[in-house]
Amino acid sequence: MRRLWPFLLGVIGLTLALPAAAQETGTRIAPAGPPAVIPDAGLSPADRARVTIVEFASCVINVDRKRVMAALSLFPSEANAGALGKLANDDCLAAGELRFNTLLFRGGLYTALYRERFGRQMPALPQGPANFSAGAPQPLDADAAKAIALREFGECVVRADPATAHAIVTVRIGSAEEARLYTVLGPLLGPCVYEGQEVKFSKTVLSGLFAEILYRDATEGSATPPAGNN
């Protein structure tokens, strides 16, 4: 069993409110793409939120791709969370209010990036993964270790079934096919967690995590696996 630091991700931490105005962020730039529109029917509140955050993230990328990529290049720590928060743009939400934490926003950005670049065809993944510890504080604190362990867990699942992970990132949110794909992937989650650890994930966290792993492996991964991972 692989080791995953003990933490709980059962609550998606993503909420919608209608029909209030979008939350102020302090920076307003006209979006270069269509703003996110909260779906009004046919989906659960959680799935409506999931659809909205990916559309919102896509709009944010269109507003300032360079800043998005710079923020995503930083190690995912509390110290660097502000860089992601500053990307939020009121004009990228047509109506309503969207509240989310930086973990989910990061996942939404990677989902939008992955769909944009690899949505039509899954990329060939290199043997070695991306360096998920790049930029981490030294020595590692508990939060940094958890962030690395989460991505190592995602890497383990993705490598176990890349095609299903790709399909989960690109499938229509809330569809019957998405539910089927999670059923297929379910048995692969346990073996990627060290014995004795209990972890619960939401679909929002998992799909965003798989998007990050797939995108970073495809664009940053190495041709040969790192030493000691045989």
| Domain ranges, residue 174 | 14-103+140-220
> Under 8 Å CB-to-CB from 46, ≥6 apart: which residues?
12, 14, 202, 203, 204
Is 125 a member of any domain? no
In this predicted structure, what is the pLDDT of residue 38? Answer: 61
Is 40 a member of any domain? yes
Is 126 a member of any domain? no
Is 90 a member of any domain? yes
CA–CA dist 165, 184 (Å, integer)? 10
The pTM of the whole model exceeds 0.75: yes
Is 65 a member of any domain? yes
Are 224 and 70 in contact by the 8 Å Cβ rule? The answer is no
CA–CA dist 118, 129 (Å, integer)? 17
221 by Cβ neighbours in 10 Å (0-12 / 13-18 / 19+) ranks as buried
Is 77 a member of any domain? yes
Q: Calculate ∠ Cα 189-193-199, nearest 5°.
A: 80
Is 45 a member of any domain? yes
pLDDT, tens digit (0-9, with 9 covering 90-100), for 168-211: 999 999 999 999 999 999 999 888 986 665 666 788 889 999 99
In this predicted structure, what is the pLDDT of residue 130? Answer: 95
In this predicted structure, what is the pLDDT of residue 197? Answer: 59
Q: What is the mean pLDDT of each run of 10 residues along the chain (230 residues)?
A: 40 36 34 62 83 91 94 92 86 74 91 96 93 93 90 94 97 94 92 71 90 97 64
Q: Name beta bridge partners: 157.
A: none
Are 53 and 208 in contact by the 8 Å Cβ rule? The answer is no
Is 130 a member of any domain? no
H-run or E-run covering 114: helix 102-118
How many domains in the chain?
Answer: 1
